[in-house]
Homo-oligomer: A and B are copies of this chain.
Amino acid sequence: MSFLEQYSNTRALSVSICSALEKEDYVVQPVADVSPPKWHLGHTTWFFETFILKPYSIAYREYNPDFNYVFNSYYETLGNRVIRTDRGNLSRPTVDEVYRYREYVDQAMAGFLIDENFDQPLLELFQLGINHEQQHQELLWYDIKYILGHNPLFPAYQLQGIEQHLTNAAQAPNEWVEVPEGLYEIGYKGAGFHFDNELSPHQVYLQKTTVSSQLVTNAAYLEFIEAGGYKNFNYWHAEGWDWVKNNQIAAPLYWHMIDGSWFEYTLSGLKPLNPDAIVAHISYYEAAAFAQWKGMRLLTEFEWEIASTHFNWGQLWEWTESAYLPYPGFSKAPGAIGEYNGKFMVNQKVLRGASVATSPNHSRSTYRNFFHPYLRWMFSGIRLAK
């Protein structure tokens, strides 16, 4: 695929994910971790403008200098950012204006991408821009679901919510896969795109492990609830238990008990809970408590990477026991791009795999996703080991 095709396909997918939104849906920010969809559309555009067009395209004229302030993210090297929790207060630029901005930048990029003789740094920036937008495509799904799923009218977004794919592959029976003790190589080794946090490849010694081939289902999770799982501190980390009590948590994020039956908000609206589907929108605290109740445990990210050849994965991000830390030899790239991953390497947990919301071509077994342990608005689930 040519650079231009890659670019155009990626950019079109972001627009397509938002195509069923009302203008009002683009604007709101119900909690700090959710961003308004129009911000995602603007921010991914700003990324190409700031890191490719402005430094490399002589003829390019910035669309609007104020957008640097509005659509910047965490990149502290590039001037004051909008305080993250304020994004939902900004009615302007309007949605139409953001789409005009996208078109303006897309046209400039189309001209720029005709010449495919990129040197290596520019090539890497381009690939980073593509992968960055794919990450935001996944966040768009999370945020759209959160915005609509926390509206008292519970509006449907799609006829068939992407949650329909949250089933264990072929409904096959669960199997226990054994990973023998020994030295294994971990980390990205190929020539394709990868993030700096997947480097460098290195050896890790693993103990013998037995891993479930299937993810935990709603039915199994319901047993945990009915056994008093949310009421017994013994299953929880101390911080997890504080989280349960302070937020009065009693079920996964989108579950609602209505007239004695469990319902689940999905992107096609409120539906009776499907016991055979895999349980989604789970925090690390919940995943760990469930495992503790079962007398089992979560995998480390290294066990996951080695075992993953033996099972299907990709419906939900899978919490691991591993903290998000640098691999041996990791060092932050200098400058704004260097802020991409390394600065988050404290107090977060690694998730491995991919989810139904992950963009095509944006998953690999060495991919290290990471979230704070209390978060659960992403499509996250549980795989057990013993």
Chain A contacts to B: CB under 8 angstroms: 22-30, 38, 66, 69-70, 74, 76-77, 82, 86, 88-95, 147-148, 150-153, 155, 183, 202-205, 207, 233-234, 236-241, 284-285, 288, 292, 297, 321-323, 325-326, 328-329, 332, 343-347, 349, 373
Give chain B nearest CB distance to A39 CB in angstroms.
12
Q: Is the CB of B332 within 8 A of A326?
A: no
- CA gap between A76 and B199 in the complex, in Å: 42
Q: Is the CB of A88 within 8 A of B91?
A: no
- CA gap between A227 and B378 in the complex, in Å: 40
Q: Is the CB of A344 within 8 A of B26?
A: no
Q: Is the CB of A238 within 8 A of B74?
A: yes
List of B residues within 8 angstroms of A28 by Cβ = 27-28, 88-91
Identify 7 new A-B residue pairs, CB closer than 8 A, beyond the known A24-B94, A202-B207, A285-B346.
A24-B91, A29-B89, A89-B151, A90-B152, A91-B147, A204-B205, A207-B328
List of B residues within 8 angstroms of A343 by Cβ = 236-238, 241
Task: Return the contact of A91 from the options B22, B205, B284 (Cβ within 8 A).
Answer: B22
Q: Is the CB of B207 within 8 A of A237?
A: no
- CA gap between A347 and B323 in the complex, in Å: 8
Q: Is the CB of A346 within 8 A of B373?
A: yes
Give chain B nearest CB distance to A142 CB in angstroms.
16
Give chain B nearest CB distance to A35 CB in angstroms.
13
Q: Secondary structure of the A side of the interface?
A: mixed
Give chain B nearest CB distance to A229 CB in angstroms.
15
Copies assembled: 4
- CA gap between A38 and B86 in the complex, in Å: 20
Among residues of B, the one whose C-beta sits closest to the C-beta of A285 is: B346
Give chain B nearest CB distance to A375 CB in angstroms.
13
- CA gap between A92 and B269 in the complex, in Å: 14
- CA gap between A244 and B77 in the complex, in Å: 17
List of B residues within 8 angstroms of A240 by Cβ = 346
- Asked whether A207 and B346 contact (CB < 8 A) given A91-B28, A152-B70, the answer is no
List of B residues within 8 angstroms of A285 by Cβ = 346
Q: List 26 A-B contacts (CB under 8 A).
A: A23-B23, A25-B91, A27-B28, A28-B88, A28-B90, A28-B91, A30-B86, A66-B153, A74-B238, A76-B233, A88-B88, A88-B89, A89-B147, A89-B151, A92-B155, A93-B153, A204-B205, A207-B328, A237-B344, A237-B345, A239-B347, A240-B346, A322-B323, A323-B323, A346-B349, A347-B373
Task: Return the contact of A237 from the options B238, B346, B373 (Cβ within 8 A).
Answer: B346
Q: Is the CB of A151 within 8 A of B238?
A: no
List of B residues within 8 angstroms of A91 by Cβ = 22, 24-28, 147-148, 151
Q: Is the CB of A292 within 8 A of B347?
A: no
- CA gap between A347 and B325 in the complex, in Å: 12
Most buried by B among A90, A91, A328, A347: A91
Q: Is the CB of B239 within 8 A of A346?
A: yes
- Asked whether A92 and B22 contact (CB < 8 A) given A76-B241, A203-B205, the answer is yes
List of B residues within 8 angstroms of A373 by Cβ = 346-347
Among residues of B, the one whose C-beta sits closest to the C-beta of A64 is: B153
- CA gap between A95 and B343 in the complex, in Å: 41
List of B residues within 8 angstroms of A323 by Cβ = 322-323, 325
Q: Is the CB of B207 within 8 A of A205?
A: no
Give chain B nearest CB distance to A323 CB in angstroms.
3
Task: Return the contact of A89 from the options B30, B202, B207 (Cβ within 8 A).
Answer: B30
- CA gap between A113 and B74 in the complex, in Å: 57
List of B residues within 8 angstroms of A77 by Cβ = 234
Among residues of B, the one whose C-beta sits closest to the C-beta of A25 is: B91
